[in-house]
Structure 1
């Protein structure tokens, strides 16, 4: 274990590992079957949604039970833009910007609230969003939803549609995760950590809890809109059920299982969101909800930090069982402490 740790601390080993991962990600869709590529695309879609939720809940400690509303809004903006002949880049910007504006308006009103009050506000978003999408049929297609076929592979690429969609998702997802990583490791992330631990202390050191809560909620909405764009890339169809409240709860569960307050945990959460329903449906479709609840409870009891904390837990267990960790000779323990 110590050898692996020393290797990981070597900068060139980390760089080489990153290069290998990038090469594998780029080459994967060229050799994988259609179903595998589609599954990877779906994981990326929900990983971005969970990532946004992690910013506001995992890092800022602010309740948000309405993230799926912004995913659905981004999907509708994408479908509307595509059907009206907008440029794809403009569609992507609008799919991120409009949910971000909506999130900002909600956050300005709700960020001063706490606990149950803000939970109720965010719960209302998908509850209101579904009937609203059905009623605005001229814009949303009503209960029938909207189709938007725009992610087919161009002739010059020489790729299949699933491969082209994978590369679109890879670019957007990589950019989202790099942005989130830089945010949480910088001044913004440190401020969120202070706000999450104690708002009074944060205010005393010049960090405005209200400002950073609004920023976190707005950024989560932008990531939700980006996820909605990717959803249209993958599915090419959206309906009011896209933003149903049940999906929002599943996103929260995926964040908790993956690891709250962890950027890599969001990717694990996206995989959980895709694979666990498939697994429970294969066992018994009538017990899908119960199966997902049992898996969630097991992870919470065994790994409170989520699946992302599993390597850390294993290292801790190995150290406890290591002969060097429990030496019976006091002088040896003293020499180790001095070293």
Structure 2
């Protein structure tokens, strides 16, 4: 936590902006991970909810709405739309639900162009907000990065608690076998709707952060190509992993920049090759590299053995290690 608090102060503006972008798309990947990685639903429309949250934010800021109201609406409206989609689609499975979610960005792009009074049409909307308050002594890039870390960190913490608790166990059962879930009194439909709605809400949060950092959105924001890139980022980072969502956000931002440095005309080819290499070498994504380290720490702890129990001394009343039969024989011939 201390490191995160200090880093924005020591990094240059360009680095702070890159880290902030990673935070934005890490939250977006987290929402996709919740619905695909943890509950096994095929969703190809998560970018639509990011775009919807961005448009709501841009419209609210442009009309001088209170920023707290804007944030609430940017989260709530995508969640309501996600709920309506989930109620209709959650009973479907496999390719059927995939086709429903594919329609979201495909319909969203022309709809954003048509509703020009609210979206700016093909030109999009720009909205500048999140400047550092006077008296903080911070630059704007530092303040925005702190906001991304605070809001994004809260979303990650809440999601981590969710998937590690009761709901996470239910999601895992539904993902593994819906028939088994039904046999033990769990409604797959109910929990699939819940997961999709929460993922949509998280998408709205990422849309708000997107406008905070990038300050511009257009119909291209929610294009189907970006949806596929977001899916690739989740797979490469690690499906069903909180850490994988962060790594996926880093992939989404950094890899295109690196491939453009190599050859802009080969960007798509190099990204596809990266995806194939990771799938073959690390089927569990980059997050799977951290699992052996965790097992190693647990094994080291197990080898040290448990701490001897403390029992009161009969003569002094102080706590000493419990006597073994060997010491008892030595002390009492």
Into which bin does the TM-score normalised by the smaller protein fall? Answer: 0.7 to 0.9
Residue 259 of structure 1 corresponds to: 238
Residue 281 of structure 2 corresponds to: 302
Cα separation, 2, equivalents of 1:215 and 1:284: 43
> In structure 2, which of residues 17, 22, 32 is the aligned counterpart of residue 53 of structure 1?
32
Which blocks of at least 5 consecutive residues in structure 2 are unaligned? Answer: 297-302, 304-333
Matched, 1:290 2:269: yes
Cα separation, 1, equivalents of 2:246 and 2:166: 23
Residue 313 of structure 2 corresponds to: none
Residue 116 of structure 1 corresponds to: 95
Tell me the TM-score normalised to structure 2 length: 0.88
Larger mean CA deviation between 155-164 and 287-296 belongs to 155-164
Cα separation, 2, equivalents of 1:123 and 1:57: 14
Deviation at residue 315 of structure 1 after TM alignment: 7.8
Residue 13 of structure 2 corresponds to: 34
Residue 67 of structure 1 corresponds to: 46
Cα separation, 1, equivalents of 2:292 and 2:179: 33
> In structure 2, which of residues 134, 147, 151 is the aligned counterpart of residue 168 of structure 1?
147
The 5 A counterparts of 1:88-103 are: 88-103=67-82
Residue 327 of structure 2 corresponds to: none
Cα separation, 2, equivalents of 1:130 and 1:308: 33
Residue 223 of structure 2 corresponds to: 244
Structure 1 stretches of 4+ with a deviation exceeding 3 A read 313-317
Residue 187 of structure 1 corresponds to: 166
Deviation at residue 158 of structure 1 after TM alignment: 1.5
RMSD of aligned Cα (Å): 1.6
Matched, 1:269 2:269: no
Superposed CA deviations along residues 226-247 of structure 1, whole A, max 9, x for unmatched, are 0000000001111100000000
Deviation at residue 312 of structure 1 after TM alignment: 2.8
Cα separation, 1, equivalents of 2:75 and 2:147: 15
Deviation at residue 316 of structure 1 after TM alignment: 8.0
Residue 105 of structure 1 corresponds to: 84
Cα separation, 1, equivalents of 2:290 and 2:156: 21
CA pair 29-314 structure 1, distance change in 2 beyond 3 A: closer
Deviation at residue 153 of structure 1 after TM alignment: 1.2
Residue 131 of structure 1 corresponds to: 110
Which blocks of at least 5 consecutive residues in structure 1 are unaligned? Answer: 1-21, 318-323, 325-339
Superposed CA deviations along residues 7-40 of structure 1, whole A, max 9, x for unmatched, are xxxxxxxxxxxxxxx0010110111001100000
Structure of higher CA gyration radius: 2
> In structure 1, which of residues 279, 285, 290 is the aligned counterpart of residue 258 of structure 2?
279
Residue 187 of structure 2 corresponds to: 208
> In structure 2, which of residues 188, 202, 206 is the aligned counterpart of residue 223 of structure 1?
202
Cα separation, 1, equivalents of 2:214 and 2:124: 12
Cα separation, 1, equivalents of 2:292 and 2:149: 30
Deviation at residue 150 of structure 1 after TM alignment: 1.0
More helix per residue: 1
> In structure 1, which of residues 140, 150, 154 is the aligned counterpart of residue 119 of structure 2?
140
The 5 A counterparts of 1:77-96 are: 77-96=56-75
Superposed CA deviations along residues 168-213 of structure 1, whole A, max 9, x for unmatched, are 1011111000010010011110000000000000011111000000
